[in-house]
Structure 1
Amino acid sequence: MNVAEIKKQFPILDQNVNGHPLVYLDSAATSQKPLSVIEKLDDYYRRYNSNVHRGVHTLGTMATDEYEGAREKVRSFINASSAEEIIFTRGTTTALNLVAGSYARSNLSAGDEIIITPMEHHSNIIPWQQVARATGATLTYLPLQADGTIDLKDVEETISEKTKIVSIMQVSNVLGTINPVKEIAEIAHRNGAIMVVDGAQSAPHMKVDVRDLDCDFFAFSGHKMGAPTGIGALYGKKELLNNMEPIEFGGEMIDFVGLQESTWKELPWKFEGGTPIIAGAIGLGAAIDFLTEIGLDEIEKHEHELAEYALERLSEVDGMTIYGPKHRAGLVTFNLDDVHPHDVATVLDAEGIAVRAGHHCAQPLMKWLDVTATARASFYIYNTKEDIDTLAESLVKTKEYFGDVF
């Protein structure tokens, strides 16, 4: 994997920020976009901007072909059985809300149980809180080990016949924990529950096979994998999607509309009300092409090497606390002595280094860690060990600066 050549494909990275070469370490929040995706969007708006499915003119046909072609690329990317199982959404949050608002509210009742973990992103907590409130179901949390991992013995003991839904992120956006979702899905199914996987932090970084995982739903976002913002996808097993009702109504998703009753289109369009995110879907298809050409196995290997190197280099900084397990995905979350993470991020930004600081939309996990906030450096295909060296050196300067101040 030639990182230097890959980096050249990202125009935004070729700039100085605050007088320093940009070191972008915030890809877990949103990744940068390769030139091929930018050019694909430009081509759509310049040559065949049109609505899809509704017209027979040439531009409409071109747009429809590209839009549905992108759906097929998503299907292949995660190895779904059929393009009918791929619903385009605004992202992971919308996808999870679709499962909660349609499947869960129709299938759960008082006495049923939803199981998640304390490490979940807010988008995989709040929808289930709302479902529990609306249906009378109970929201239960799996315990975490001291290093932020899940023990399958705890899974066996927590999931029961009362469990109807298990919803867990495949990779933690804070700890970098890679959760055993395939094994958890098997336990869930054995007890009659369905398995929902939040793939926001896994789909961009590792090969995902939804049939091998045997998950019932899988949600992910395009903007974390080189695609535009505002586009993502929900995979659902066909038999489940067929029995679900849409939660958005209007144009595009209808079959017949009468004065008192209406009927819906078949999958996947019954869940895509209104003018869809056409440019975003086409851009997502281009991003999938880009990542596929590099190879997801190569991407995963590269990021694991960066994570190992980052753990080593950042551990050398006095006063450093690093959160999460040793074996992790490509990110490192940390705190530096008593310096607030926002102050750390501000000083790093002055050095041209972009990291994330805050609760990372994971306030229950912050409480579990007994902190109010952390700083996070996250890596992608365009990052190098030299970027991590720059980060480590700047963190030493940050510590010295605040040591002098205090």
Structure 2
Amino acid sequence: MYIFMYIPRGSAPFSPLMVRRMLCRMGAPDLASGSILADAAGTRSAPNQARSAHASTSPAHADPRLALVGSDTEVPLVSGEMRRFVNLDYAASAPALRAVHDAVEELLGWYSSVHRGAGFKSRASTAAYEGARESIRRFVGGRSDDAVIITRNTTDSINLLAASLPPGTHVIAFAGEHHANLLPWRRLKAHYLNAPATPALMLEQLESALSALPHGAAARLVAVTGASNVTGEIWPIAEIARVAHAHGARVLVDAAQLAPHSPIDMAADDIDYLAFSGHKLYAPYGAGALLGRRDWLASGDPFLRGGGAVKLVSIAETLWAELPERQEAGSPNVLGAVALGVACDTLVAVGMARIAAEERELLGYALGRLAAVDGFHPLRVWPAEHARVGLVTFAVRGMPYDLLAAALSAEHGIGIRHGCFCAHPLMVSLLEISDAEVHRLFDETRLGHHERLPGAARASLGLGSTRADVDALCTALDALVADGPRWTYSVDPDTGMYEPDPDPRPLPALGMRLVEHPTGHASLHGHAHSHGESA
């Protein structure tokens, strides 16, 4: 069957939702219907994934639009058992929404290089890509004249903005930031403030720091997190913007942790720039976004230089394109952008206020259960009553944090994060590590000694989290505190971290394919890398 569509030149771009409807009219299944979401919602299992024995594994909202890929995946334990994986690591990266997965699968059949292509697939892919831009804008309440730039992730977005600042810009940031919002400013006139003990003190520090800047025409930027990836504490963005603007400064919000958990309104809160990642927003397909005022982003040379970012090039001269193309050199990640757009549309349709309220209820339950664990000690900067997103970073007295994480995984099938969470200065403060110890750690690391670094454990909630998951974590912690690990563990000399020894669990050959060599021998091609937490 051949289907033809007329798309008038200059017509408005399709949103991801419009593209899905277009594909449905062409015979594709309705990606928003319950039928295609039933698998992730729990009515049947994906191939090679046995149903969980847990009866209470559905999230409190139980909305099929929020179904996640892999929610019923079973993992091996060192004992030889298989158990439904308890994912309490959403703050590092979130699984894909089923709606996102299905939309990407449908788009693959239409995929083509975007922009300037006369082919029908190119025009359809371009419409989907540009539509995603508008979905992203709506999700965060962006202004109609804000630039919406598709990036790789939050780190990429912040580095892009850092490269676009006017010469001589003064940047103010707090020491509690994720490295993605700390390191890009070091090559500029950066002023780092200590992590404040209360929100009120933070605003006072900011006011004083801005007042102390030299008078003149130099631009000013305040770079802050929307929600800490270590403590989960939500920063008062509107108040920060008010103080900054009173001193002629602009505000960048690193919303990597805030966006998946709380409503954002750039226009209402007067946010100048905002960055976030798809991989934390249930769209792990390699795209992120930077939104904000155009003038800085449109001045000077672009962050990346190459095809797509230009109008005209000669050997001696370059005429750069307008925004957003100016800052999107190279072939863009069409699938990632559309995935992010679909995630934004889905979360808007469900309602971020509703999602945030249900997460607060589950977080309250988790904090109550964890407080009853013997030796449990939460890490936080601000008083306990301050609003936070659904994560808890903690230590358990007498239990090394990496041994705790290893045992939770190997013996209980529970995934958490451990270490310093790409926020070393904040963790140094929270763990009360002396300057002398920090210098010693630097010296040892420079010599290549991979000794165990200080750190903590972090459990984080998301759309798929349930009370049953919290109960599983607390039951496992109680057992580890009372009896210790049941398996043997040793420190890996390459990482300095505890690992099961031996570890009988085979890793699945994910992303690998069987290749037949001319010699007749077969081999698996694939790669395994270890990375820290990214934004």
Fold-level similarity (TM above 0.5) = yes
| C-alpha spacing 1:84/1:144, structure 2 compared with 1 (3 Å) | closer
Task: Give 1:25-44 correspondences, 5 Å limit.
Answer: 25-44=88-107
Please name the residue that 2:204 is paired with.
153
Aligned partner letter, 1:39: D
What CA distance in whole angstroms lies between the structure 2 residues aligned with 1:362 and 1:149?
22
* 1:154 Cα deviation from its structure 2 partner: 2.5
CA pair 352-7 structure 1, distance change in 2 beyond 3 A: farther
Counterpart for residue 351 of structure 1: 412
| Contact 1:84 1:268 survives alignment (8 Å) | no
Structure 1 unaligned residues grouped into runs of 5+: 132-136
Residues 1:367 and 2:419 aligned together: no
Report what 2:479 is aligned to. 397
Amino acid across the alignment from 2:98? L
Q: Alignment partner for residue 297 of structure 1, among 347, 353, 368?
A: 353
| Alignment deviations for residues 76-99 of structure 1 (CA, whole Å, 9 cap, x no partner) | 111212375100000100000011
Stretch deviating more after TM superposition (187-196 or 6-15)? 6-15
Alignment match of 2:330 (pick from 265, 274, 279): 274
C-alpha offsets along residues 97-117 of structure 1, whole Å, 9 cap, x if unaligned? 0111121xx332xxx642111
User: Letter of the aligned partner of 2:124 in structure 1?
Assistant: M
Question: How much has 1:401 moved relative to structure 2?
Answer: 3.1
Distance in 1 (alpha carbons) for counterparts of 2:350 and 2:412: 30
Q: Report SS of the residue matched to 1:76.
A: helix
Offset at 1:55? 0.5
Alignment coverage as a number of residue pairs: 394
Distance 1:68 1:264 in 2: 20
Are positions 1:237 and 2:266 aligned together?
Answer: no
Query: Aligned in 2, Cα 1:286/1:150: closer, same or farther, shift over 3 Å?
Result: farther
Letter in 2 for 1:363: H
Q: CA offsets, 1:349-380, max 9 Å, x none?
A: 12111110111001001110126211111101
Cα displacement (A) at 1:6: 4.3
Instruction: Report the counterpart of residue 399 of structure 2 in structure 1.
Output: 339
- Letter of the 1:28 counterpart: A
Q: What SS class does the counterpart of residue 275 from structure 1 fall into?
A: coil
Pick aligned residue for 2:180 from 123, 141, 156: 123
- The 5-angstrom pairing of residues 174-185 of structure 1 reads 174-185=230-241
Do residues 55 (structure 1) and 117 (structure 2) align?
Answer: yes
Query: What is the CA–CA distance in structure 1 between the aligned matches of 2:167 and 2:272, rounded to whole Å?
Result: 14
Match of 1:92 in 2: 154
Go from structure 1 to structure 2 and tell me whether the alpha carbon gap of 1:138 and 1:75 turns closer, same or farther (over 3 Å shift): closer
Name the amino acid aligned to 1:10: L
- DSSP 3-state at the match of 1:321: strand
Deviation at 1:148, TM superposition (A): 8.4
The verdict on how the C-alpha distance between 1:361 and 1:229 changes in structure 2, with shifts beyond 3 A counting, is farther
Where 2:185 maps in the other structure, the secondary structure is helix
Question: Post-superposition shift, 1:11?
Answer: 3.2
Instruction: Name the amino acid aligned to 2:296.
Output: L
Once the two structures are TM-superposed, the CA of residue 242 in structure 1 deviates from its matched residue by 3.0
For the residues of structure 2 that align with 1:225 and 1:256, how far apart are their CA atoms? 36
Residues of 2 paired with 1:322 and 1:161: CA distance? 35
The 3-state SS of whatever aligns with 2:125 is helix
SS at match of 2:482: helix
Q: Separation in 2 of the partners of 1:66 and 1:154? A: 44
Deviations 1:295-333 (A, max 9, x none): 100111111112211111111011111012423211111
Kindly indicate whether the alpha-carbon contact (under 8 Å) linking 2:173 and 2:190 is maintained by their aligned counterparts in 1: no
Q: For residue 138 of structure 2, what is the amino acid of its counterpart?
A: S
Conserved 8 A contact 1:3-1:382: no
Q: Distance in 1 between matches of 2:241 and 2:167?
A: 18
CA drift at 1:208: 0.7
Contact kept, 8 Å, 2:164 with 2:296, in 1: the verdict is no
CA distance in structure 2 between the partners assigned to 1:306 and 1:2 by the alignment: 9
Q: Distance in 2 between the 1:313 and 1:8 partners? A: 26
Structure 2 unaligned runs (5+)? Answer: 1-58, 77-81, 215-219, 434-453, 489-535
- Distance in 1, matches of 2:407 and 2:329, equals 45
Among the aligned pairs, what percent are the same residue? 36
- CA shift, 1:17, in A, is 1.8
User: SS at 1:332's partner residue?
Assistant: strand
When normalised by structure 2's length, the TM-score is 0.70
Paired AA for residue 400 in structure 2: H
Q: Call closer, same or farther: CA 1:148–1:403 in 2, change over 3 Å.
A: farther
2:406 & 2:480 partners in 1: Cα distance?
Answer: 10
Tell me the residue number matched to 2:136. 74
